[in-house]
Amino acid sequence: MLKIRQYVFWLVLCCIITGRASSADDSVDSSPSESPPEGRIAKSDTYSKPEYDPGTSSLELQGRLAIVTGGASGIGRSVAMVLARENVTVIVADINETGGEQTIKYLKMLSSHLRHRAIYVDVRNSTSVEFLIQCIELQYINMTISIVVNSAGILHEITPVVNLTDNTFDNVISTNLKGTFLVTKEAVKHMLARNVTGAAIVNIASILGKGGFPGLSAYTASKGGVVAFTKAIAVELATKGIR
């Protein structure tokens, strides 16, 4: 009990000291009657952070058309939102239609003037991926795909390799690695046919793909494959305006 009281005493004392230090820092600001020194902003009760201007783009990506697989949730959704904020028209490609539509609502809050769309796709299936690209080409006749983010992926439960089923292994590899391959393949066909330059393909991998993790053999194998695949494609497409 004594130790607890001593701990509380020192904790309170530290809080008091910290509070006084903060007050002291505030006191060195210019008085209300003085103009703030050049380069400093005077404090104001009415000051508010400037709102984002949807007509600007810090990354100079405005006007582009992007595909984000796995955009219905997680990393994919976050990437889609950043692109929308940068005035990029985003195609949310996901097997989760409900989540995809929810992402579109978020994107329209960021850039309502753009035609963002959610399109169903099963990245494991070549026919589904081909249909995705065809839909985009029909619905965005005056635009070309110049950004692709392969974010669709799944993670299996930690399982010893002796207990890992063929079905689980195949599903993870098909989604994470084969899906990245299929979407990249069809997107590159589209880009080359239209002489797209300055295009970018981003494949989401994982540090586990380089170091491994016990019990996640299928996942680490899939992400390791994504890393190697990305390196090979980068060299292959380097002279074609696609990175």
Can you give the residue ranges of every domain in the chain? Answer: 65-240
Query: How many CA atoms within 13 Å lie on the side-chain side of 146?
Result: 18
Predicted confidence (pLDDT) at residue 13 exceeds the cutoff of 60: no
Query: Mean pLDDT score of the chain, rounded to an integer?
Result: 83
CA–CA separation, 112 vs 116, rounded Å? 8
52 is catalytic: no
Give the pLDDT confidence of 156-180 residue by residue, as tens digits.
999 999 999 999 999 999 999 999 9
Q: What is the pLDDT averaged over residues 148-157?
A: 97
Q: What is the pLDDT averaged over residues 59-71?
A: 94
The pLDDT of residue 158 is: 96
Predicted TM-score (pTM) of this structure: 0.76
Q: What is the pLDDT averaged over residues 99-114?
A: 97
The pLDDT of residue 212 is: 87
Q: Which two tokens stand for residue 100?
A: 């995809």
Q: Which two tokens stand for residue 69?
A: 């697989």
CA–CA separation, 154 vs 35, rounded Å? 57
Active-site entry in 7, 47, 106, 219: 219
Question: Starting at the edge strand that comes first in sequence, how are the strands of the sheet with 89-94 ordered?
Answer: 117-120, 89-94, 65-69, 145-150, 200-203
The residue among 12 and 148 whose pLDDT is bigger is 148
CA–CA separation, 59 vs 203, rounded Å? 19
Predicted confidence (pLDDT) at residue 47 exceeds the cutoff of 80: no
Predicted confidence (pLDDT) at residue 50 exceeds the cutoff of 50: no
The pLDDT of residue 204 is: 97
| Structure-derived torsion over alpha carbons of residues 229, 230, 231, 236, reported in degrees to the nearest 10 | 90
CA–CA separation, 175 vs 125, rounded Å? 9
CA–CA separation, 56 vs 199, rounded Å? 20
Question: Is 88 in contact with 65 (CB distance < 8 Å)?
Answer: yes
CB atoms within 10 A of CB 184: 20
The residue among 114 and 25 whose pLDDT is bigger is 114
Give the pLDDT confidence of 190-206 residue by residue, as tens digits.
999 999 999 999 999 99
Local confidence band at 56 (pLDDT 50, 70, 90 cut-offs): low
To 5 degrees, how large is the angle CA 194–CA 144–CA 81? 150
Q: Which two tokens stand for residue 74?
A: 């997680």
Question: Is 173 in contact with 225 (CB distance < 8 Å)?
Answer: yes
Q: What is the pLDDT averaged over residues 85-93?
A: 97
Predicted confidence (pLDDT) at residue 27 exceeds the cutoff of 50: no
CATH match of 65-240 with 3.30.70.20: no
Per DSSP, what are the bridge partners of residue 224? none
Of 43-52, 65-74, 183-192, least confident by mean pLDDT is: 43-52
* Closest by CA position to 233, among listed 195, 176, 182, 196: 182
Question: What sections of the chain are H helices per DSSP?
Answer: 2-27, 74-85, 97-110, 126-139, 166-173, 179-193, 208-211, 217-237
